[in-house]
């Protein structure tokens, strides 16, 4: 495998496309396919072949004439580019409906993510387990993050609690936050925040639906 150089900064639009390429490569791997072309990937995803080739160039892998890219090699390089070959342990705060759903999602392990502890303020939830993960009091987040050297936090709590939770995570040494709460978090410049706001995706979907011709 030719690893992606650590000095390379991958543009965000490319980052968002890479998981789709990985899904295709994994399916091809299951089918026993050894090679794949960028044109094939482009056709499956309805993308421009030139864009796909440009995206794949970040791996440094060169395809073979008339054969294309070696599936396993390309897959491993893309996983490496996203740091999905390494296990990232995470804390989740907010064991409501969304949080519980994320705790039950087994697919995270394919992407190198493992939720190792969950937290909530609801006395009815504390002490119980969801999909094998015990729910702990939120007040323990900071101390446990320090002790376990956790660097990734997931917030699925209500908006009014999100900022306080983020502050506790940061105090505990967490530097990456996946925020599902519908609120803008105020964090130091060295903290990485990725907002996964469902309302934004829904807004795009419903707007496009309103413009579609429905017979």
Predicted local confidence at residue 22, as pLDDT: 96
Predicted local confidence at residue 4, as pLDDT: 46
Q: Give the three-class secondary structure for 55.
A: helix
Where is average pLDDT lowest: 49-63, 140-154, 194-208? 194-208
How many Å is the maximal CA-CA distance in the chain?
62
In whole angstroms, give the CA distance from residue 109 to residue 85: 10
Predicted local confidence at residue 5, as pLDDT: 43
Contact 168, 138 (CB under 8 A): yes
Work out the end-to-end distance of the chain between its first and last CA atoms, rounded to an integer number of angstroms.
51
Average pLDDT over the chain, rounded to an integer: 92
pLDDT, average across residues 62-73: 92
Cβ count near 50 (within 10 Å): 10
| pLDDT tens track for 79-95 | 999 988 888 999 999 99
């Amino acid at each position: 495998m030719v690893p992606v150089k650590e000095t390379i900064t991958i543009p965000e639009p490319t980052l968002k496309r890479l998981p789709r390429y990985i899904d295709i490569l994994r399916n091809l791997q299951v089918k026993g396919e050894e090679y794949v072309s960028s044109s094939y990937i482009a056709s499956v995803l309805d993308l421009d072949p030139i864009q796909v080739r440009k995206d794949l160039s970040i791996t440094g892998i060169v395809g073979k004439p008339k054969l294309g890219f070696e599936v396993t090699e390309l897959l491993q390089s893309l996983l490496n580019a996203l740091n999905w070959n390494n296990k990232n342990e995470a804390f989740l705060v907010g064991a409501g409906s969304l949080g519980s759903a994320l705790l039950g999602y087994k697919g995270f392990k394919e992407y190198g993510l493992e939720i190792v502890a969950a937290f909530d303020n609801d006395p009815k939830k504390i002490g119980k387990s969801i999909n094998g993960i015990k729910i702990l009091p939120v007040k323990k987040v900071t101390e446990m993050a320090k002790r376990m050297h956790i660097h990734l936090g997931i917030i699925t709590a209500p908006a009014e609690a999100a900022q306080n939770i983020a502050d506790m995570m940061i105090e505990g040494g967490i530097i990456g936050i996946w925020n599902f709460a519908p609120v803008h978090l105020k964090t130091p410049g060295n903290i990485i925040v990725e907002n996964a706001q469902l309302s934004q995706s829904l807004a795009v979907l419903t707007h496009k639906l309103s413009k579609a011709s429905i017979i």
